[in-house]
Amino acid sequence: MMRSRVVSSLIVDRIRAKPELKPVEIIHEFKDYYGIDISYYHTWFGKQLAKLDVHGDESKSFNELVWYADAVKETNTGSLCTLDCEAGINRFRRFFVSFGGCIAGFRYCIPLLFIDATFLKSKYKGQLLCASGKNGNQGFYPLAFGVVDSETEENWTWFLQHLASILLPMGRVVTFSRTAIKNLISKYPKSGYGKLLQDRVINLFSRCAYAVTEEEFKVAMEELVIVGSSKVKAFISYLSRDHYANAFFKGMRCGEMANSLAESFNNWVGVFRDLPVLPLIEGIRQKLMVLNSQRRIEAEKWTTVLCPEMETRLCENVEAGRTWAVRRSNCTVFEVFADYSVMVDLEQRTCSCRLWQIDGFPCTHVVAAILAKRDSVYDYVECYYKTDFFRKAYESPIFPIPDVGKGLGSNGFAARVVLPPITKGPAGRPPTKRIKVFGEFKRPLKCSRCSVARHNRKTCKAII
């Protein structure tokens, strides 16, 4: 039987290239390449030994963050990197990093910031906090991330304070997205009615959130209050409509009502979540470096004024409003007759349908008015949707961080010892049943003999 140490020596290079490799995949590879059957037990321990050889001891990884914070600032000018430990005992609490290339490029991204957290699977657990923006081609743009011992209000405040130190010097108004509409729906009170009525209540609440005008919001809200229970009414009164409803939101959502971009970042870095803290952070940096380089090369081939995604959307709006009647009021105000009439003010950049104000992109009514005025549509599109801004967003690269001589300098981790955080398992027995989603119901047991509910065929006593 092949031992774990032998398995480790044979797969160490594979683990270095693909840390998410599963034991079952290793078993199949050994059978295909060597014709050998190995047990899951030896495969699992062999993978753990290989990870130890590649990434080192997890407890010592926290100590290396001292060196890494200095190395980030030396190799990537303009970066913000902070290590925070408990006073006195020097135990790890949190780590924040935002690379200079990401900070410089965010000035040319859409003024949106999505923040989220995901749990880590390593020996010492913890949470990965992230802040991701959105580029002009509708892709996510990682701005900053951090590792904390737990997701608490104090740690979130610390993380947001570091974000503020990056954003305030830019002088931009940035819209934050933390709680998505679907998260609000998950907290919706159970009304005690059947599933169909619950679905109807949730759909009505979604209509309230996505309504672009106050009239649409009022119609949906009146119907929701009639259909919903007293708990639903109390839940609605607790929420501030300025935050969740498009019709009353004072900022610019740019078409985003969910936190999907932050979740995209979490999925993107998911392969690193079971690694020690330094390989986790360094793995994200390397992936960021490659992503930014690929997008920079890709953008050099673009020939359109807008990014491809937005150019396609603009062409669709032009085609949709081509047959609509447009009447001029003055030099900048127009009335557009579609299914209903709307007023477009090109100088104030407003449309009575409110899509231009909410999305920050000319809607079909606006495009029809611009064409009637014989202006260039591109003059009314925000600059961060344009190819030039996309290229500038990826103009500053993220540089490599060589680890030759790591820890040997005066600022190396040998001069300061950082202890790993204290972790403990949750109280009580671990749950064995899946947590049901809101609105999910269990199908009642039905007898296959008499078709009556609440018993089975074995215990059936019905006379047939």
Q: Kindly report the three-state secondary structure assignment for every residue of 51-107.
A: HHHHHCCHHHHCCCHHHHHHHHHHHCCCCEEEEEECCCCCEEEEEEEECHHHHHHHC
For the chain, domain boundaries:
4-55, 65-178+259-297, 181-244, 308-380
In percent, how much of the chain has pLDDT > 90?
38
Categorize the per-residue pLDDT at 257 as very low, low, confident or very high, splitting at 50, 70 and 90. Answer: low
Report residue 55 as tokens. 């990434």
State how far the alpha carbon of 87 is from the alpha carbons of 23, 147, 234, in Å: 41, 18, 44
330, burial (CB in 10 Å: exposed 0-12, middle 13-18, buried 19+): exposed
Residue 445 has a pLDDT of 81
Q: d(Cα 8, Cα 5) in Å, to the nearest integer?
A: 5
pLDDT for the residue 370:
94
- pLDDT band, very low/low/confident/very high, at 218 (cuts 50, 70, 90): confident
Determine the average pLDDT of the residues in 83-89. Answer: 89
Whether 184 shows a pLDDT value over 50: the answer reads no
Per-residue model confidence (pLDDT) at position 403: 82
Return the number of other C-beta atoms located less than 10 Å from residue 391's C-beta: 19
Residue 142 · residue 102 · CB < 8 Å: yes
If pLDDT is split at 50, 70 and 90, which confidence band does 1 have?
A: low
Average pLDDT in the chain: 82
**Candidate from 41-50, 142-151, 218-227 with smallest mean pLDDT:** 218-227
First to last CA, the chain: 61
Q: Give the mean pLDDT of 236-243.
A: 69
Residue 332 identity: T
Classify burial at 432, counting beta carbons within 10 Å of its beta carbon; exposed 0-12, middle 13-18, buried 19 or more.
exposed
Give the percent of the chain with pLDDT over 70: 78
Question: What is the pLDDT, as a whole number, of residue 232?
Answer: 67
Q: Which two tokens stand for residue 381?
A: 């599109």
pLDDT of the residue at 185: 44
pLDDT tens-digit profile of 431-461? 666 555 444 446 678 888 888 888 888 888 8
Report pLDDT for 196. Answer: 47
Q: Identify the pLDDT of residue 190.
A: 43
Distance CA 276, CA 306 (A): 41
Q: What is the dihedral of CA 355, 357, 359, 360, to 10 degrees?
A: 130
Query: SS3 of 113, please?
Result: strand
pLDDT above 70 (res 10)? yes
Q: What pLDDT does 212 receive?
A: 73
Q: pLDDT category, 192, cuts 50, 70, 90?
A: very low
| pLDDT at residue 301 in the model | 95
For 328-378, the pLDDT digits (tens) are 999 999 999 988 899 999 999 999 888 888 888 999 999 999 999 999 999
Between 119-123, 151-155, 226-230, the lowest mean confidence (pLDDT) is in: 226-230
pLDDT value at position 416?
63
Residue 42 and residue 4 in contact, taking contact as beta carbons nearer than 8 Å: yes
Provide CB contacts within 8 A for 193, sequence distance 6+. 229
Cα(204)–Cα(235) distance, integer angstroms: 14
Residues 409-419: what's their mean pLDDT? Answer: 60
**Are the beta carbons of 71 and 124 closer than 8 angstroms?**
no
Mean pLDDT across 90-102: 95
What is the C-alpha separation between 399 and 282, in angstroms, rounded? 12
Kindly tell me if the per-residue pLDDT of 183 is higher than 50. no
Query: Amino acid letter at 453?
Result: A
d(CA 212, CA 353): 7
pLDDT at 42 over 60: yes
Length of the chain: 464
